[in-house]
């Protein structure tokens, strides 16, 4: 272990043992808050077994597990020293694999470990040498690390350790954060400060935050990090930057995390001096082979590439009249010798005015099914447009039976109020994953596409666009941390419930008090639906501000592309509102399985939350509530804004039960969210009223400013705008 690692461990261990009343609760510790357990009885119960730790053989990964347990236990047990060595007088915590631990080998666990793979673990209570003990066993060292964090999670949520019998293994192989970080440390769609990666000081200066980033990811099972923006810069593939990448990989490796990069398709021209990047050109193939070999000399466990090509101006194989498969395969062939993978993004749309942008990805990728190399995954956003507050599941899920697909979720709140709105995203993730594609009959859920079980794919993945920056609390909003946490938990097990994850995160991050857990869980579980109502109710989508995507902009038109405008999507006119994607319109609904289409095809059957996504509906259409569409739209906007006030009241009722610093922080952010919810409500109702020519329903608060006021608002320096270069 390096000297810096030892110093880091000592520092964190010291901080973990300080009385929490003396520490500022600024959110830096995320969900790894190792404060003394309040209950003396529970501390005594845990200490009787867990203050003796047995690790019989060392390795970098096992050391990381041991060190985390020592830090956690010393903090939770109130500063009591944790002994490392033999089984204590009352028992011990034993960790390892059958090949690294004679004690674990003697327990004959082959049957229990057989189904757990390389990353799974078995945590259980038992008696060893007549002493009560807890064992963390796995087939590989990284499984022991994940098991250690599961036990810590168990302790942080104050659960019993006397009858432990926990077996867990990930259902998704590649669980990856995608950082949209640029080499100048700006972050595209980043709302929590600048990039964590200080490229200027790397590789010589290793920021201690890199270790804490790795610890946090390992604690929730994330095993990959894409360091660079999908709108990529070829310089990251040059040797000076590869040395920097290698330094980060060295930090992450003991925590089971592999690094990935984004590959700019035109790199052979931009940094290689070639005259072409044609993927079928032999010189291009050879250039990529040598470049990838070079990467592996610096990072032996390099994971591979994410590629955005022929989308939003990014170069790609279509520049040379080649297909996406041609482009992906030239990289995949070179990576295959090193067990690397390609994650080729399906977020594409051509340079022509589209018939319906929701159809673009399906139209381009469906004909290529089965033509990609076996180490290529197609990375598909959860919905067919672009991370909107609500979208139906993407039609590509299940439509490519011969090709592994990994889902891409967005943790950074590009379309959900940036880092000033409290929006818990696990319900959004689950809404997609639990949707039934019907491609192989009833029960063909999206999560079965993603975990490989539907088509028997071994290569599986889930990607999350990171919401992390260099702000002290990592994510800007204290509750935005829950989206990082929930992504990792759902990527490990897509069947996990939004409520269970929320309650677990609350207990680890804020408090185990029942009242606090209940109140915060209610707020979190309602927050996404509330946001949809005050932003894009009834299936509206893509009506945010231009370029920066901050605030409402349903009036946006006359931009370089029709599908970069709001009017293209809502199609409001004197008759009604909404995008007709049935057979009478763009027929985008035909891209779904025949069993899915009837749910949305008939206006009277369509779930109202998707109504305006699939239909252009008359303003006077009678809704299930008995109101007209116009009246219902107004009521939805008002209900959303009013519900934020409920969130404020619920939060304020917890004063004194939440630490003062984070209480004040969230209180201020909820004030912002409430004002912006009213902004969304007023501007959208006033704008759509110009088409409906109907009055705002009696009893609803009227806007206090004219539409012209909202239309003139400008935000040239809103955070997260895409750099112009």
Residue positions counted in the chain:
725
Banded pLDDT at 722 (limits 50, 70, 90): low
Contact present, 529 and 390 (Cβ < 8 Å): no
> Pick the catalytic residue: 19, 86, 184, 312?
312
pLDDT at residue number 721? 75
CA distance 609 to 81: 55
480, with CB counted inside 10 A (0-12, 13-18, 19+), is buried
Does pLDDT of 86 surpass 80? no
Q: Is 414 a catalytic residue?
A: yes
**Cβ within 8 Å of residue 204, ≥6 positions away:** none
Banded pLDDT at 91 (limits 50, 70, 90): confident
pLDDT at residue number 530? 99
Element holding 577 (H helix, E strand) = strand 576-577
pLDDT at residue number 349? 82
Query: What's the token pair of residue 307?
Result: 């590629």
Give the closest residue to 284 by CA, choosing from 270, 292, 295, 274.
274
Contact present, 640 and 659 (Cβ < 8 Å): no
CB 470: neighbour CB atoms within 10 A? Answer: 17
CA distance 627 to 220: 45
CA distance 296 to 338: 8
Q: Is 312 a catalytic residue?
A: yes
Task: Assign 194 to helix, strand or coil.
Answer: coil
CA distance 408 to 380: 6
Banded pLDDT at 712 (limits 50, 70, 90): very high
pLDDT at residue number 1? 42
pLDDT at residue number 537? 99
Banded pLDDT at 354 (limits 50, 70, 90): low
pLDDT at residue number 19? 45
Region 573-592 average pLDDT: 98
From residue 467, alpha-carbon distances to 181, 322, 520 in Å are: 11, 34, 21
Beta-sheet pairing, 121-128 with 131-137: antiparallel
Rounded (5°) CA angle 388-432-607? 80
- What backbone torsions phi and psi does residue 241 show, to the nearest 5 degrees? -80, -30
Does pLDDT of 34 surpass 50? yes
From residue 446, alpha-carbon distances to 394, 465, 669 in Å are: 9, 19, 34
CA distance 476 to 416: 14
Domains of the chain plus CATH, in order, are 3-168 (3.30.379.10), 174-500 (3.20.20.80), 533-579+616-711 (3.90.1330.10)
CA distance 217 to 220: 6
> Pick the catalytic residue: 188, 391, 414, 601?
414
**Cβ within 8 Å of residue 697, ≥6 positions away:** 627, 631, 634, 635
From residue 529, alpha-carbon distances to 174, 389, 636, 651 in Å are: 29, 9, 11, 18
pTM: 0.96
CA distance 395 to 369: 14
Q: What is the DSSP letter of 205?
A: -
Banded pLDDT at 22 (limits 50, 70, 90): very low
Mean pLDDT of all residues belonging to the chain: 95
Banded pLDDT at 2 (limits 50, 70, 90): very low
- What backbone torsions phi and psi does residue 465 show, to the nearest 5 degrees? -70, 115
Contact present, 318 and 368 (Cβ < 8 Å): no
Banded pLDDT at 23 (limits 50, 70, 90): low
Query: What's the token pair of residue 508?
Result: 């680890």
Does pLDDT of 351 surpass 60? yes
Q: How far apart are the first and last CA of the chain?
A: 42
CA distance 663 to 651: 8
As beta bridge partners, residue 354 has none
Chain segment 237-281, per-residue pLDDT in tens: 999 999 999 999 999 999 999 999 999 999 999 999 999 999 999
CA distance 700 to 506: 35
Establish how many alpha carbons lie within 13 A of residue 651's alpha carbon, considering only the half-sphere containing its beta carbon.
25
pLDDT at residue number 605? 94
3-state SS track over 296-312: HHHCCCCCEEEECCCCC
> Pick the catalytic residue: 212, 386, 391, 631?
386
Across 328-434, where does the E strand assignment appear? 341-345, 376-381, 405-410
- What backbone torsions phi and psi does residue 689 show, to the nearest 5 degrees? -65, -25
Q: What is the DSSP letter of 132?
A: E
């Amino acid at each position: 272990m390096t000297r810096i690692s030892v110093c880091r461990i000592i520092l964190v261990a010291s901080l973990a043992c300080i009385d929490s009343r003396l520490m500022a609760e600024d959110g830096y510790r995320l969900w790894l808050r190792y404060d003394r357990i309040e209950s003396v009885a529970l501390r005594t119960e845990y200490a009787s077994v867990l203050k003796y730790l047995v690790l019989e053989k060392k390795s970098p990964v096992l050391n990381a597990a041991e060190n985390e347990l020592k830090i956690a236990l010393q903090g939770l047990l109130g500063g009591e020293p944790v002994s490392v060595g033999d089984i204590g007088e009352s028992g011990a915590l034993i960790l390892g694999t059958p090949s690294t631990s004679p004690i674990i080998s003697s327990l004959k666990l082959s049957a229990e470990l057989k189904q757990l793979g390389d990353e799974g673990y078995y945590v259980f209570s038992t008696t060893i040498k007549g002493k009560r003990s807890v064992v963390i066993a796995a087939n590989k060292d990284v499984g022991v690390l994940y098991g250690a964090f599961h036990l810590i999670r168990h302790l942080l949520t104050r659960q019993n350790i006397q009858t432990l019998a926990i077996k867990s293994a990930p259902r998704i192989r590649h669980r990856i954060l995608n950082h949209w970080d640029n080499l100048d440390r700006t972050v595209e769609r980043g709302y929590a400060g600048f990039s964590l990666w200080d490229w200027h000081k790397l590789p010589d200066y290793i920021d201690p935050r890199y270790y804490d980033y790795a610890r946090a990811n390992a604690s929730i099972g994330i095993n990959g990090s894409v360091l660079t923006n999908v709108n990529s810069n070829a310089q990251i593939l040059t040797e000076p930057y590869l040395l920097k990448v290698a330094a980060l990989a060295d930090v992450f490796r003991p925590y089971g995390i592999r690094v990935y990069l984004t590959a700019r398709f035109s790199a052979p021209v931009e940094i290689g001096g070639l005259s072409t990047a044609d993927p079928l050109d032999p010189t291009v193939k050879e250039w990529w082979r040598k470049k990838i070999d070079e990467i592996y000399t610096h990072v032996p466990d390099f994971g591979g590439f994410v590629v955005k090509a022929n989308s939003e101006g990014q170069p790609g194989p279509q520049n040379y009249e080649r297909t996406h498969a041609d482009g992906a395969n030239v990289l995949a062939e070179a990576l295959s010798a090193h067990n690397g993978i390609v994650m080729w993004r399906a977020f594409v749309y051509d340079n022509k005015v589209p018939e319906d942008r929701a159809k673009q990805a399906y139209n381009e990728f469906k004909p290529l099914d089965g033509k990609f190399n076996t180490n290529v995954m197609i990375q598909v956003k959860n919905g067919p447009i672009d991370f909107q507050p609500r979208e139906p599941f993407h039609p590509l899920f299940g439509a490519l039976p011969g090709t592994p697909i990994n889902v891409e979720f967005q943790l950074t709140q590009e379309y959900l109020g940036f880092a000033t709105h409290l929006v818990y995203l696990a319900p959004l993730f689950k809404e997609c994953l639990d949707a039934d594609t019907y491609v192989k009959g009833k029960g063909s859920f999206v999560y079965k596409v993603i975990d490989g079980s539907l088509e028997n794919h071994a290569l599986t993945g889930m990607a999350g666009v990171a919401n992390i920056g260099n702000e002290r609390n990592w994510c800007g909003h204290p509750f935005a941390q829950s989206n990082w946490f929930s992504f990792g938990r759902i990527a490990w097990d897509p069947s996990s419930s939004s409520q269970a994850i929320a309650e677990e995160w609350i207990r680890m991050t804020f408090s185990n008090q029942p009242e606090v857990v209940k109140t915060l869980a209610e707020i979190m579980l309602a927050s996404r639906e509330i946001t949809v109502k005050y932003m894009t109710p009834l299936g509206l989508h893509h009506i945010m501000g231009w370029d920066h995507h901050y605030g409402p902009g349903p009036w946006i038109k006359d931009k370089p592309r029709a599908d970069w405008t709001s009017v293209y999507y809502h199609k409001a006119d004197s008759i009604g509102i909404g995008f007709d994607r049935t057979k009478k319109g763009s027929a985008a609904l035909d891209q779904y399985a025949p069993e899915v289409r009837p749910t949305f095809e008939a206006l009277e059957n369509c779930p109202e939350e998707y109504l305006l996504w699939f239909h252009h509906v008359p303003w006077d259409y009678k809704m299930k509530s008995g109101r007209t569409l116009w009246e219902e739209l107004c009521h939805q906007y008002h209900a959303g804004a009013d519900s934020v006030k409920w969130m404020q009241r619920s939060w304020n009722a917890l004063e004194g039960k939440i630490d003062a610093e984070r209480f004040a922080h969230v209180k201020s952010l909820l004030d912002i969210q409430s004002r912006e919810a009213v902004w969304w409500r007023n501007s959208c109702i006033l704008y759509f009223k110009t088409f409906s020519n109907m009055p705002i329903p009696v009893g609803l608060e009227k806007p206090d400013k004219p539409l012209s006021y909202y239309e003139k608002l400008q935000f040239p320096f809103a955070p997260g705008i895409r750099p112009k270069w």
